Each structure stands twice: as structure tokens, then as C-alpha cells.
Structure 1
Amino acid sequence: MGKSLNLIREGANWENILKEIILEEGLEPWNLDALSISEALFRRIEVLEREGSVDVSRMKVIVERLRDSR
């Protein structure tokens, strides 16, 4: 989870963040769904929220929308 957390902290673009999450989670790029991505992203947001290192309020809204889209 380390590299994707750092990418989020640095404000990297979503494409790079999601690519790293896919690698870290061992997900198959050809078989992705919104739920698996949103769950993985939500776990990272929870870590960042506990740290207080990044304002995650906007990210939480995006992830909630992903979860609701299923």
C-alpha cells in the first residue's frame, strides 16, 4: 500500500494512482470492476484520514459514487 499512498499524498494523477493500486492489490487489469477498485481506494483513504496528512473529503465523495455505481 506504500507507493500508492505516497502517490496520493503527492497529488499524482488518478491514472498513476489507480495503476499502482491495481499492482499492489494483484488485480487483473482486464477484469476490473468498480467495487474492487473503490474498496482498495477506500482502504487507502482510511489510512490517510487517520494520519491526517491529506484532506480526503473529496476523495471520499468520489469513492462513494464508485461504490454506488455497482
Structure 2
Amino acid sequence: MTAYSNVKQCLASMNGIEAQLSNFALNSQDEEAQQAFHKAMLLVGEVKKDLQKRITEMEFKEPQYKPS
């Protein structure tokens, strides 16, 4: 598997993690837990932005990775 594929797969996983954290935050009865899940979700969002930036860089530097 190429580095590009690994980064894309990681981004897809992070999307799932972000959705799970959001669900946990919404469904938790404990306000402290809600805040912790929400904070973690925001951190994952930042990581996702960094991964997307890296994917864009890879697509720019390696034309074979550009989406059709």
C-alpha cells in the first residue's frame, strides 16, 4: 500500500472516529463526559484538517494521485 493510500485510509478512519465521538457526546448523561467527548471530537477535526492538507500536497506533487 502506498503512503497516499495509507493517508487516505487514515482520514477515512478519523471520519468514523469523529462521528463516534459526536454520538458519545450527544448521548452521554454526564456533562463532564459530554465535554470530554466534544473536546476529543474537536481535536480529531484538527487532525483531519492536517491529513486533508497532506493529501492535497501529495496530489499536487504526485500527479498519479490526482482524483479523476
TM-score category (smaller protein): 0.3 to 0.5
TM-score norm. by structure 1 comes to 0.45
More helix by share: 2
| Higher RCO structure, 1 or 2 (CA under 8 Å, sep 6+) | 2
Q: Which has the larger radius of gyration?
A: 2
